[in-house]
Amino acid sequence: MLKKIFGGLLVTLLLWCPSAMATITLAIIAPKAGEYLKSGQELFEGARIAVQEINDNGGINGQNIDLLTIDDRCDDRLAFSTAEMLSLLKSKTIGLVVGPYCASRFDEIAAIYEKAKIFQIVPITESYRAGNYNKKGQIVLLANKTQMSKDFFEFYNTHFAGLNVGFVYDGRPDKGYTDVAKTLYDEFKHKGKSAQLKFYTLNVEDDDIKALARKIVKEDNVQVVFVLGDDDDVALLLPALKKKNRNVILFTGKDMISKELLEDMEEQADGVYVLSLPGLKDSLMFTDSLVDLRLHGIEPEGLETYSYVSVKLWGDLAKQVKSFDYNKLSKAANSQEMRTKWSDFLMHSGSKSTAKYVIEMYSDGAFKQVY
């Protein structure tokens, strides 16, 4: 009799206990080691906080969210095999994939999720191919790398037109800067200025950095240099260029240059321009999300904001259609209401426009936005 009573109580408790609610799995794919470790940590943390908030508030449509974090090490092979694995997984119901952060085979990977009818949100990406083709159940926030070329040229053409430009980039295929170079060439060619643009490869030994800097500013008389590559190479080349010509105008990616390097360059750092994706921290649209992050002790300067917003966006869509059904979510994501609400940050979900890069200038120890 006691066994029956305790058994009945156990069943009742399991039915009432939030952890016993039906669950749907959210998989986030980002690196847990290597060059992009910090980016991965931030993306995982933002998703974790969003999932915790959702579950603490009763879940979505009566279901708790099970968070699955996957390390793809920014390796195409792992990102591809992860997509195939998730598409075949039977032990969990995958409601959303957030990512991948890297992957030059981005559209092949996205096609796997589309075929498997797994909704995908890419909060921010290192992939220069992200969003080349519009997938039905895919949302890509912000822009890809080739947008850099367009914004750099627009700023150059307004402020430095007539000066010779050198684009120095890491030419390895997995970095994606070759496509940036092609887009940059197209921009200059379209305006009849291709003669003012020269290209240089950054894949050189440390001893050759000085020779590269000399060739760029002395032999080729380049006055504006745009550098994209690993931060170690950028840290060597920028000071070398300034030593050859203190008046050379420098551009690079904000994530490729440290505050310490700029401080070491002292007065030579003044006037260095950096490009970065627009931050969500100044957007009124995300005020509630930013407040929530700050309540968790996170100042939204990193990538946490992007993954956090991605999860909350998916949750809002699921509540709106009262379902996790792929087709219903896709239809809602591509609605006019959605495009209007998220137009500043959506690269896809029916939007063909891309978010512009921000350009900041370093001066007197601080960055000031100039574009």
* DSSP3 helix / strand / coil % (the chain, rounded to 5): 50, 20, 35
Reported as a pLDDT band with limits 50, 70 and 90, residue 323 is: very high
| Angle between helical axes of 287-295 and 304-321 (0-180°, round to 10) | 120
> Does pLDDT of 256 surpass 80?
yes
> Does pLDDT of 204 surpass 70?
no
- Paired residues of 200 in beta bridges: 168
Reported as a pLDDT band with limits 50, 70 and 90, residue 66 is: very high
Q: Where are the alpha helices (DSSP H) in the chain?
A: 2-16, 37-56, 76-88, 106-116, 146-159, 177-190, 209-214, 231-244, 259-264, 287-295, 304-321, 326-333, 336-341
DSSP string, 282-304: T-GGGHHHHHHHHHTT--TTSSH
pLDDT of residue 28: 97
Instruction: State which fold the 146-276 domain adopts.
Output: Rossmann fold (3.40.50)
* Range name among 5-19, 31-45, 328-342 with the lowest pLDDT average: 5-19
pLDDT of residue 188: 97
Residues of the chain with CATH 3.40.50.2300: 18-143+280-341, 146-276
The rounded mean pLDDT for the chain is 83
> Does pLDDT of 32 surpass 90?
yes
pLDDT of residue 13: 37
pLDDT of residue 285: 54
302 vs 157, more confident = 157
Maximum mean pLDDT: which of 133-142, 156-165, 356-365: 156-165
Q: Is the pTM of this model over 0.85?
A: no
Angle at 135 between CA 82 and CA 64, to 5 degrees: 60
pLDDT of residue 35: 76
Reported as a pLDDT band with limits 50, 70 and 90, residue 355 is: low
Reported as a pLDDT band with limits 50, 70 and 90, residue 144 is: low
> Does pLDDT of 225 surpass 90?
yes
CATH number of the structural domain 18-143+280-341: 3.40.50.2300
* Range name among 21-30, 163-172, 174-183, 327-336 with the lowest pLDDT average: 174-183
> Does pLDDT of 18 surpass 50?
no
**265-303 in b/e burial notation, b at 16+ Cβ within 10 A?**
beebbeebbbbbbbbbeeeeebeebbebbeeeebebebb
pLDDT of residue 2: 42
* Range name among 15-24, 72-81, 285-294 with the lowest pLDDT average: 15-24
What is the percent of the chain with per-residue pLDDT over 90, rounded to a whole number? Answer: 50
61 vs 128, more confident = 61
Across 293-311, average pLDDT: 77
> Does pLDDT of 193 surpass 70?
yes
* Range name among 207-211, 272-276, 319-323, 334-338 with the lowest pLDDT average: 334-338
pLDDT of residue 289: 66
Q: How far apart are CA 6 and CA 153, in angstroms?
A: 73
pLDDT of residue 93: 94
Return all residues near 302 (Cβ < 8 A) that are at least 6 apart.
38, 42
